[in-house]
Structure 1
Amino acid sequence: MIRCIRIWTNDTGNSSFEEGSLSLGQGKPGDLIGATIAASSVSFRETQPDQALEWHDAPTYQLVLTLGGTLEFKTRDGGTFVIRPGDVLLAEDTKGTGHVWRIIGEEPWRRAYVILPQGADVGFTAKR
């Protein structure tokens, strides 16, 4: 199972989030594979510890793959969640009041941005 947090803009214009996972239904026992997802680009970024980004929307529909570092995200309604290495963020909140994040700890945040076609199915399943 790959942990995934989906963040989107709700009906009131604020960002909301839910925890879930990415489907890995193909393959064989011990080596599960997710469906292929079309992507228009992939880029990498590193941000040093003690950094934060104030209120903003996701610039586009994207997956953010955290390779290193730990972050805390916050929404306008006060909800928070933590992203750790190996987690995936499905960023759909491209409009509205947005979210903030801050790096927790001494490790830089290393990540890959995977830009997706709008509405691409990434196999997200919400945690029940």
Structure 2
Amino acid sequence: MKTTQFKKLCISALLVTSAFCQAGEPAAAADAAPKTADLLTYDRIYTDKNGDSHFDKVTVNFKVFQYANDVPPVWVESAGLRPAKAVQFMAAPTGWDGRAHHPPPRRQFFIVLTGAVAFTATDGETRILHPGQVLLMEDHKGKGHGSYNVDQGNSIVVAVPLAD
């Protein structure tokens, strides 16, 4: 049997098994699935007890879930839904420079859609986010961070304020 045929057979078996799962329950075939912890990581900027900001990485754990009727299950975040207040699109034009440390107005996710945006914590570490990358801003109670557009065009992001 060719490798591609074997892969198709395995996928078909997973889909058939998944179809018999109850909504919201992990598929039995998921036990044989690879570890899922490496599906998504994102950056987080947070405030320490002295008000200084630092970065770390967050790993999102997933589980198999029947998200919608009449389609195969998908992987969803194990922690469930995160309550959010709104969604706002923002654009930082060429040359936009907010390097002076400032706290964000609230806890929020930033998801870069186009361009590149740099964020600098008060400890001096800088991370540059490109399209598809996510930053969880939790430095709203402290000195905050610096940020600037590193692209030669508009950098467009979507901000998702989180409900507290």
Tell me whether the two structures share a fold, i.e. TM-score over 0.5. yes
| Structure 2 residues not aligned, in runs of 5+ | 1-38, 67-71
Q: Secondary structure at the match of 2:87?
A: strand
Instruction: State the percentage of identical aligned residues.
Output: 27
Give the TM-score of the pair, scaled to structure 1. Answer: 0.80
Query: Higher relative contact order at CA 8 Å, sep ≥6: structure 1 or structure 2?
Result: 1
Give the TM-score of the pair, scaled to structure 2. Answer: 0.64
The one of 147, 158, 163 aligned to 1:101: 147
Paired residues for 1:44-59 under 5 Å = 44-53=89-98, 54-59=100-105
C-alpha separation in 2, matches of 1:80 and 1:15: 11
Larger Rg: 2
Higher helix share: 2
Aligned to 2:7: none
Q: CA distance change for structure 1 residues 10 and 50 in 2, over 3 Å: closer, same or farther?
A: same
C-alpha separation in 2, matches of 1:20 and 1:107: 29
The one of 27, 32, 35 aligned to 2:75: 32
C-alpha separation in 2, matches of 1:74 and 1:60: 17
C-alpha separation in 2, matches of 1:111 and 1:22: 21
C-alpha separation in 1, matches of 2:65 and 2:163: 25
Paired residues for 1:44-123 under 5 Å = 44-53=89-98, 54-118=100-164
Higher strand share: 1
Query: How many residue pairs end up in the alignment?
Result: 118
Greater shift after overlay, 18-27 or 77-86?
A: 18-27
Q: CA RMSD in A?
A: 2.1
C-alpha separation in 1, matches of 2:93 and 2:59: 27
| Structure 1 residues not aligned, in runs of 5+ | 119-128
